Amino acid sequence: MCRVTQRKDGIWQQAMTVIVDGRRVQKYFYGKTKADVLRKIQDYKDEQASGPTFGAVADEWWEHHEPTLAANTTKSYKPALVRAKEQFGDRRIRQILPTEINQFLKAFIKEKSAAKKTATTQRMVINLIFKYAVKNGYAIVNPAREISLPRNLSSKERELPEDDQIKLVKEHTDAPFGMFAYWALYTGCRRGELQALTWEDVDLENGWIHITKTLYYKNGKPAIKPPKTKKGIRDIPLLDKLAEKLEPGKGLIFANKSGGYLTEWQFQKNWADYKEASGVTCTAHQLRHVFTTMLFENQIEPKDIQTIVGHAQLSTTMDIYTHIRKVQADRVKAKVSALDIT
């Protein structure tokens, strides 16, 4: 290795032979002082021994990965990325241990009372960053690979609305945006699927609703894409309770005043107005689970339910079934506990 020298312009430099892609090349380090150069050389040696910082790898991963993500996925991944960088950003990536990741996830779940989906996303993002690090030679092993989440995490978005909420949905179809909630209740469609739905997708004669697309938002503006998986493309039976409320037309079923797709702001405004007018406090996604519950309660086979609601995996359907049984058991227990013998 050459010694540190000062150029005519006052900049200090030193050359060092390094291995890049299996080849020996000269790498130069520069600084305003001799100490600057020596510090940069030491930082480089430390990086080679322990890898770059987690934050640097995370940013590089996001730069490559973000363009491939759907808008909704980007929206859920970004907060998890920020939290991971806040926790591990300055650490050398090869020095981070599985126990540290596990402790971080446990503390995050406890402090934020995180639901299962949020915690799962947090773990997934950390895992993806380390997988990228291993693939690109920044780390030797993935310390997040074997990390698992506690089994007793709640699924907040799957909490079933109380019976009075369902009654309000049924009674307020004439309220602003009331039919959107009613459609969610009697089709089990996802919000984006309903927003993309047209009257041409509804076969009134044969009693089917054809789901072939979904709406998502990119920078607040609506865009259309196929469902995330092939299971998302499906036909849903048109229930009599919904059919009798319909007033068929043309084009989008839930359009803005110009006949186009609702922007994110327009949807949120419509839903807020509906909640205020009706007294409904649950989400459209919770109404999807009410529909799924109804199918289970009427002994529809799980595989058929999976097809109707468009779950990619049967395990997702069965997970909801398990949750529903627990909720129902808790309700029965509450009623029985209040009984008295006369």
pLDDT tens sequence across 282-297: 999 899 988 988 898 8
Q: How confident is the model at residue 339 (pLDDT cuts 50, 70, 90)?
A: confident
* 51's tokens: 């890898």
Q: How confident is the model over 28-37, as a mean pLDDT? A: 92
Query: Which range has highest mean pLDDT (143-152, 215-224, 302-311)?
Result: 302-311
Burial of 301 (0-12, 13-18, 19+ CB in 10 A): exposed
- Rounded mean pLDDT of the chain? 88
* 73's tokens: 């996925």
* 96's tokens: 């981070």
CA distance 109 to 34: 47
Strand-pairing partners, residue 236, are: 209
CA dihedral 168, 173, 175, 176 (to 10 degrees): 120
Residue 20: per-residue pLDDT: 62
Residue 298: per-residue pLDDT: 87
Residue 137: per-residue pLDDT: 84
Q: How confident is the model at residue 128 (pLDDT cuts 50, 70, 90)?
A: very high
Lowest mean pLDDT among 77-81, 183-187, 223-227, 271-275: 223-227
Q: Phi/psi at 149 (nearest 5 deg)?
A: -95, 155
Q: How confident is the model over 126-146, as a mean pLDDT? A: 92
Q: How confident is the model at residue 233 (pLDDT cuts 50, 70, 90)?
A: very high
Q: How confident is the model over 245-265, as a mean pLDDT? A: 94
Question: Comparing 55-154 with 158-333, is the CATH topology the same?
Answer: no
Asked if 155 and 115 touch (Cβ cutoff 8 Å), the reply is yes
Residue 214: per-residue pLDDT: 93
Q: How confident is the model over 141-158, as a mean pLDDT? A: 76
Quickly tell me which residue has 């990536």 as its tokens.
93
Residue 248: per-residue pLDDT: 92
Lowest mean pLDDT among 17-26, 51-60, 240-249: 17-26
Residue 297: per-residue pLDDT: 83
Which of these, 311, 286, 138, 179, lies nearest to 232 by C-alpha position? 311
pLDDT at 46 over 90: no
Lowest mean pLDDT among 13-22, 245-254, 289-298, 305-314: 13-22
Quickly tell me which residue has 């934050």 as its tokens.
55
CA distance 58 to 128: 9
pLDDT at 153 over 70: no
* Distance set, CA 328 to CA 119, 166, 289, 322, 335 (Å): 25, 16, 13, 10, 11
Tens-place pLDDT, residues 100-125: 999 999 998 888 777 778 889 999 99
More confident residue, 251 or 50: 251
Structural class in CATH, domain 158-333: mainly alpha
Counting every residue written for the chain, the total comes to 342
Which fold, 55-154?
A: DNA polymerase; domain 1 (1.10.150)
CA distance 167 to 328: 18
Spell out the domain ranges in the chain: 5-50, 55-154, 158-333
More confident residue, 238 or 229: 238
Percent of the chain with pLDDT over 90: 54
